[in-house]
Chain A
Amino acid sequence: MLTYFLCLILFCVGLYAVLRKRNIIKMIIGIVICEYAINLFLILFGYRMNGRSPLYSPNQEITSMVDPLPQALAMTAIVISLATTALLVGIALRIYEKYGTFDITKINKLKG
């Protein structure tokens, strides 16, 4: 019970970084922490009591396994978050090239 609660606290830590930090790179790191927290939460929910890893072996007696479906979901979510992080880092590099700073309070040409 406590482990699930800690996952949500990790999500809130990442969300705090996105909301309150002024550097773009720190916001990107906050988003990545949020994604780690959600993947961890997904995998923790697949646990069954006295289960072993969900693989068949040729010569062994298997009584119960943990749930393999959240592991596939977490794998897909990791790949999607990789693509998003790559795009964000590319945009951040180009912004540094044009504006000269990573500070979001100084990148405010669009108003109104």
Chain B
Amino acid sequence: MQFIPLLIILPLGAAFFISLAGKNKDTVCDIFSTVITFSLFALSLFFIFTAKTYPGTLVYKVGGGGLPGGIVLVLDGLSIFMLTIINFIAFIINIFSINYMNRFSAKYKFYTLFMLMVGGMNGVVITGDIFNLFVFYEVASIASYALVAFGTEKEELEASLKYTIIGVVGSLCILLAIAFLYAYTSSLNMADISLSLAQNNLNSVVIFISVLFIAGFGIKSAIVPFHAWLPDAHPAAPAPISAMLSGIFIKSLGIYTLCRIFYNVFGMSSGLSHLFMFLGALSIIAGGLLALGQSDIKRLLGYSSISQVGYIILGLGIGSPLAITGALFHLFNHSVFKSLLFLNAGAIEYATGTRNLEQLGGLRTKMPVTSASSLTAAMSISGIPPFAGFFSKLLIIAACIKSGYIGYGILAIIGAIFTISYLLKFQKYTFFGQLKEMNKNIREVPIFMKFSMVTLSLICIFGALAIMPKAAGYFLKPAQESLTRTIKYADLTTQVLYEK
């Protein structure tokens, strides 16, 4: 129980320590940050097994302060699920960036900002107090604004400016919503707010706060009316940061907070469900259509992220337990294979120096590991049977049709057709086909990058085992239960708080 704050202390302490002592020592920074991310991953695995023996929810009071006015850290099923994904992908990307970031000069600054981002994301997922969520949200966002502009070339600065201004407007909407929520319920603890909101009916103040929250968190999770920063930020960032942004950042800061606020604090009404389903279907179709015409690898993958996040929001909007399981499993799958695809794009750029689809071709003979893992990821994301992506898409579409929304099911299937077509385009133009003249002398990427890509592709292949009944009881079922018990989250937390 006493290990819960270590999830925040370790990354923040490592960030300050690396900025203190890491000025010219690159290998020491590499080893130190890899050790820290591995220990964070081991801690989150430890929490999966501990939370099964406890009543299912771990509550920790920071500073010993109780319910009115004190900050609590709450670890229920959804938090542990997100923690495992975040720390695992951060560990893999850390290994990848040992070799990739050698071309930038100030590697210790990269590791400082990376650790701050991981610490911020961990903090968002653990906390049970709404202003603490805002503080960690800002810590992670500011680290990511600085990381997107890391190379300080022309395009990177322009992309970072766009991303920063849109992101700051989103944060301001969230702060305004928190101010209104405090004024309405005079409490900042999420369990307490949900208890106060359950007694009053849905009046216009609560609708205004909901709209502000959807705008603010929707900007960070790249749902369609708010997606304008994503296709510019992804090509401009260095490859491990693009993988981090699209793999875990938009999910832990956007989708997790939407789930937590709208399922556990406000309670899901039918208007909100229909809004989520509509936004999800719009994202699927718009992301898929826009990805078909791109000729830059990372821009294509960025639009694909918008499309897959649409699937998750569609599943969350439907609301039945089957749909929520499908959406959460799709969240897990998408982190794994989208990170793998972005790491492949980074490896291609490291080897050949270009990202344009028209100048690449036939790389399969020269870079076998990259091409095999990329083919695995592409088959998984398109939904081909033994891979993990098939099961998650099947669950979402089956839940659509079972709940009676046939139109949304047909739109989801059309989205799957778009997914296969742009991934086929990506695979054909980079790996198959004729080898061009200027790419005759390229070599395979160094060992740490190979290790990360192989690990992620193994999880793509065997990830379907996570949905088997025995394994799902540890991993997916607690997460789904903590969402389907909607407002009773407050009862569980206050019971643990008042009995100690």
Contact = CB atoms under 8 A, between A and B. Distances in A.
Interface of A: 11, 15, 18, 24, 27, 31, 34-35, 38, 41-42, 45, 69-70, 73, 76-77, 80, 83-84, 87-88, 91-92, 94-95, 98-99, 107-110, 112
Contacts of B178: 73
20 contacts: A18-B165, A24-B161, A38-B172, A38-B175, A70-B182, A76-B131, A84-B138, A84-B168, A87-B146, A87-B164, A88-B161, A88-B165, A91-B149, A91-B157, A91-B160, A95-B161, A107-B158, A107-B161, A108-B158, A112-B299
Q: Which DSSP category, helix, strand, loop or mixed, fits chain A's interface?
A: helix
B164 A45 contact: no
Nearest to B152: A94
Interface of B: 69, 131, 135, 138, 142, 145-146, 149, 152-155, 157-161, 164-165, 168-169, 171-172, 175-176, 178-179, 182-183, 188, 231-232, 235-236, 293-294, 296, 299
A88 B135 CA distance: 18
A60 to B, nearest CB: 24
Report the 10 A-B pairs with minimum CB-CB distance, sorted nearest first.
Answer: A45-B183, A80-B138, A98-B154, A42-B179, A110-B232, A95-B157, A34-B172, A38-B175, A107-B158, A91-B161
A83 B182 CA distance: 24
Contacts of A27: 165
Determine which residue in B165, B171, B178, B293 has the highest number of CB atoms from chain A within 10 A of its CB, and name it: B165
Given A42-B179, A91-B157, A91-B160, A31 B169 contact: yes
Nearest to B68: A69
Given A91-B149, A99-B154, A11 B176 contact: yes
Contacts of B145: 87
B296 to A, nearest CB: 7
B165 A73 contact: no
Contact of B142 (A41, A87, A92, A109): A87
A94 B157 contact: yes
A77 B134 CA distance: 9
A80 B293 CA distance: 39
Nearest to A76: B135
A94 B161 CA distance: 10
B413 to A, nearest CB: 27
A77 B165 contact: no
Contacts of A73: 131, 178-179, 182
Contacts of A77: 175
Contacts, number: 87
Contacts of A31: 165, 168-169, 172
B239 to A, nearest CB: 17
A28 to B, nearest CB: 9
A73 to B, nearest CB: 6
Nearest to A93: B157
B164 A88 contact: yes
B163 to A, nearest CB: 10
Nearest to B167: A84
Contacts of A87: 142, 145-146, 164
A33 to B, nearest CB: 11
Nearest to A11: B176
Contacts of B188: 69
A80 B175 CA distance: 11
B182 A45 contact: yes
B142 A112 contact: no
Contacts of A99: 154, 158
Contact of B164 (A80, A91, A98): A91
Nearest to A96: B157
A2 B317 CA distance: 38
Contacts of B164: 84, 87-88, 91
Nearest to B232: A110
B135 A110 contact: no
Contacts of A76: 131, 135
Contacts of A41: 176, 179
Contacts of B175: 38, 77
